[in-house]
Amino acid sequence: MAENITCRMECEESIRRLSDLLSGSVVRLAQNQKRTAIAFSGGLDSSLIAHLHAGVSEVELFSVFMSGSHDERASVEAARVLGLEDRLHPYLLSEYELEAILPHMITLLGSRSLFDLGIALPLYVAAREAERGGFKTIATGQGADELFAGYRRYETMNPGELEEELRRDLLKLAEHGLKRDYSVARAHSIGLQLPFLDPELVEFAEEIPVELKVRDGIRKYILRRAAEALGLPPELSYRDKKAAQYSSGVHRTLKRIARKNGYLTRAPSSVSSDTR
């Protein structure tokens, strides 16, 4: 019984501290902005960012997807739940436009990786649309999966394996993923805002026991509890989500283009292409 009480107290304290740090990160980023652009998919991470920003600035949500994709439905539904449906800017990306952008993206990234292009393309278009809307920065949910165990493959790992894998994935993000994302945003003279990668928040997240990150088969358990505590509705706090390149429909379309042109490659072995 004493052990259960200790675990419960540890969990509640982690939720409180994480909630404070997330709120503080967003306030620092938004304090000098009247408006904030957010790359929005309708998943937990972008919905939480939108919810927190809405309390301190006017938000505009930029969602990019292919016709019939998961994000086409999820972004509209999440914006409605948040009461931000009038702030949503959905962009329907056609296969024709995707194929037209592709050579430039390959040059920009210096990569033909299907994985990198699948992530970069929606952000590239969202940043472009944000720039056209007069924004100088765009906020994204990068880092949440690596800090709080968002990938599906984490579910089967024991605590020691999970802790090591999270450490490796966060390093990969710092060395590869952020370089890719900054390159994409800079192409439109847009800066990135990364609320989940605030240094103090990252330091605390790394100290949270992995048993609170994957619990009872729920990935990002502690982040979902913190989202609830911060007032994010349960239907968004506990929404499951695939990685952006899959849920946007871009990955599937790129595979079709690849078969036609034969010039794309799979994800590099050092980078996970797991679903979220």
What's the pLDDT tens digit per position in 117-151? 999 999 999 999 999 999 999 999 999 999 999 99
Strands, E, within the chain: which ranges?
35-39, 58-65, 88-92, 137-139, 191-193
Q: Answer yes or no: is pLDDT of 153 > 50.
A: yes
The band of 78, judged by pLDDT with boundaries at 50, 70 and 90, is very high
Q: What is the pLDDT of residue 262?
A: 67
35 or 8, higher pLDDT: 35
**CA pair distance 177, 242, nearest whole angstrom:** 17
What's the pLDDT tens digit per position in 210-236? 999 999 999 999 999 999 999 999 999
On whether the CB atoms of residues 86 and 240 are closer than 8 A, the answer is no
Q: Answer yes or no: is pLDDT of 257 > 70.
A: yes
Q: Answer yes or no: is pLDDT of 195 > 80.
A: yes
**CA pair distance 274, 134, nearest whole angstrom:** 34
Complete domains list, the chain, with CATH: 2-261 (3.40.50.620)
